[in-house]
């Protein structure tokens, strides 16, 4: 099934708190109760029961004194299991690091959330070490997508921020913070009917975050709406919490690639994609359908494994030397590819990326944003992907393909739900060059309103 009712926005929840309709303690108790049943045990690797309630009580005291720290004051938020929390080992969705020394400091992004008054419910499950777009985890279990959850063993949530998405869809948190190296915020958002924002990587600190790829990692929110994402992004990046205004769609210039991003698209996604394009055109947006030649070159550029394999190998090589059997085999196999990437290969990759970004930027000169399906297929069944490596890696490559383009571009992107009520979740992606984050969010707000109006 899809989400029966729209998820409450951070803005609405904050209004309820301000109006005395509820308290942070009540919201937090509800969220914590949900972590103990249903998908909860597979969603969280660690729940901060006592600390979350203490944070909620403190928030209620401050609000009673008129001292709300931000629009997320007192709201339950989850964080991905690769953010350091002082006093605990950072697990990264793995059993391998359970005996690692506890973190000495809390990750900067989590500190910023707490300083803004967020209640941190716990750390969410993920693909081991963030190295897959499917969200399957053999160590902690795989939380099931809310769509058709009880049919045939359920469908994947998308990854790697799998628990992050389900924590929001199932009311265990009002929003979640994940990481995005090749789509790990946008993919689960698209497959689960959420809004997911990947900022320009350099805007949000990676201090205290277990890395996958230093060149590609970025930190962003999964939430019910564009405004929610914009609020969280401002807090994470340290930007002013200004009002977000919807851009004009009339005259907006969108580039819709005709190569690569539509390959392998299923009928459900194709129908939602065409419907969204039609709505945008009717609203006055100018859509240019064109080949983006650099997109066709990326598979060759990354043929040896790219930055992710090289940089993951550098981080994991000492663990893998003695403890490879403790890894998810489908993650360990991918990390091992980086062993054969030489320093010369890596330097060549850096140079080719600069050239590739320049080529895409040149084609973008006459357009405001790129528009494409976030993921070309609806969420596959978990059982279909766990039975063979061929099925697993085939689906993983297809699902990661479109979002990865924007990470390599060092750009910003957002995935918006564009399916009709009752249909399988489908994401519409808008993307811009690096540094265009606020403009992108402004356009996304207008597109979100357009899609909502079409729902009736």
Ordered strands of the 44-47 beta sheet: 44-47, 119-124, 76-80, 175-179, 219-223, 195-198, 412-417, 427-432, 369-373, 253-257, 286-290
CA distances in angstroms from 231 to 10, 72, 84, 241, listed in the order given: 9, 8, 22, 7
Using N-to-C axis directions, what is the helix angle for 343-364 and 306-323, rounded to 10°? 150
Answer yes or no: 42 catalytic. Answer: no
CB 71 within 8 A of CB 169: no
Catalytic position from the list 184, 189, 415, 429:
184
Label residue 263 exposed, middle or buried (CB < 10 Å: 0-12, 13-18, 19+). exposed
According to DSSP, the β-strands at 175-179 and 76-80 are: parallel
Catalytic position from the list 78, 80, 162, 167:
80
* Dist CA 414 CA 220 (whole Å): 10
Answer yes or no: 80 catalytic. Answer: yes
Coil, helix or strand for 9?
coil
Catalytic position from the list 160, 162, 415, 429:
160
Per-position DSSP letters for 149-169, written without gaps between them: TTSTT-B---SSSHHHHHHHH
Coil, helix or strand for 434?
coil
N- to C-terminal Cα distance for the chain? 20
Using N-to-C axis directions, what is the helix angle for 306-323 and 329-336, rounded to 10°? 120
* Dist CA 392 CA 383 (whole Å): 10
Close Cβ partners of 170 (under 8 Å, ≥ 6 residues apart): 34, 38, 39, 40, 43, 146
Residue 415: both structure tokens together? 């995935």
Label residue 386 exposed, middle or buried (CB < 10 Å: 0-12, 13-18, 19+). middle
Label residue 149 exposed, middle or buried (CB < 10 Å: 0-12, 13-18, 19+). middle
Angle formed at CA 394 by CA 393 and CA 399, multiple of 5 degrees: 95
Cα-Cα-Cα-Cα dihedral sign, residues 214, 218, 219, 222: negative
* Dist CA 8 CA 11 (whole Å): 8
* Dist CA 85 CA 257 (whole Å): 41
Show which residues are catalytic.
80, 160, 184
């Amino acid at each position: 099934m899809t989400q029966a009712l729209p998820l409450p926005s951070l803005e609405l929840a904050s209004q309820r708190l301000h109006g005395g309709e509820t308290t942070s303690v009540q919201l937090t108790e509800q969220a914590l109760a949900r972590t103990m049943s249903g998908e909860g045990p597979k969603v969280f690797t660690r729940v901060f029961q006592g600390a979350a309630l203490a944070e909620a009580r403190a928030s209620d005291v401050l609000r009673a004194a008129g001292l709300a720290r931000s629009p997320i004051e007192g709201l339950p938020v989850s964080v991905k299991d690769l953010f350091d929390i002082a006093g605990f080992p950072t697990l990264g969705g793995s059993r391998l690091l359970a005996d690692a020394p506890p973190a000495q400091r809390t990750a900067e992004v989590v500190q910023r959330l707490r300083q803004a008054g967020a209640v941190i419910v716990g750390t969410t499950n993920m693909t081991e070490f963030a190295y897959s777009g499917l969200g399957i985890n053999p160590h902690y279990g795989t939380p099931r997508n809310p769509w058709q959850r009880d049919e045939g063993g359920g469908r994947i949530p998308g990854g790697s921020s799998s628990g992050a998405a389900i924590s929001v869809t199932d009311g265990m948190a009002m929003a979640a913070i994940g990481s995005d190296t090749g789509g790990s915020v946008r993919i689960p958002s698209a497959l689960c009917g959420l809004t997911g924002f990947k900022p320009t990587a350099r805007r949000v600190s990676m201090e205290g975050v277990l890395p996958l790829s230093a060149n590609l990692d970025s930190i962003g929110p999964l939430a019910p709406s564009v405004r929610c994402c914009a609020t969280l992004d401002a807090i994470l990046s340290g930007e002013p919490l200004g009002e977000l205004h919807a851009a004009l769609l009339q005259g907006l210039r969108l580039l819709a690639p005709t190569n690569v991003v539509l390959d392998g698209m299923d009928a459900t996604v194709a129908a939602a994609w065409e419907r969204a394009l039609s709505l945008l055109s009717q609203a006055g947006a100018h859509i240019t359908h064109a080949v983006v030649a650099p997109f066709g070159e990326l598979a060759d550029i990354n043929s040896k494994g790219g930055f992710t394999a090289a940089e993951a190998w550098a981080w994991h090589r000492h663990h893998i030397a003695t403890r490879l059997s403790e890894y998810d085999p489908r993650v360990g196999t991918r990390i091992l590819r980086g062993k054969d990437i030489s320093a010369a290969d890596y330097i060549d990759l850096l140079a080719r990326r600069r050239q590739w970004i320049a080529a895409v930027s040149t084609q973008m000169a006459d357009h405001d944003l790129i528009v494409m399906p976030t993921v070309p297929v609806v969420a596959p069944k978990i059982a279909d992907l766990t039975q063979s490596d061929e099925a697993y890696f085939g689906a993983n490559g297809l699902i990661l393909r479109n979002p990865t383009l924007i990470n390599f571009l060092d750009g910003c992107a957002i995935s918006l739900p564009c399916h009709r009520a009752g249909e399988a979740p489908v994401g519409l992606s808008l993307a811009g060059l690096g540094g265009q984050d606020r403009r992108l969010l402004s356009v996304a707000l207008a597109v979100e309103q357009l899609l909502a109006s079409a729902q009736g």
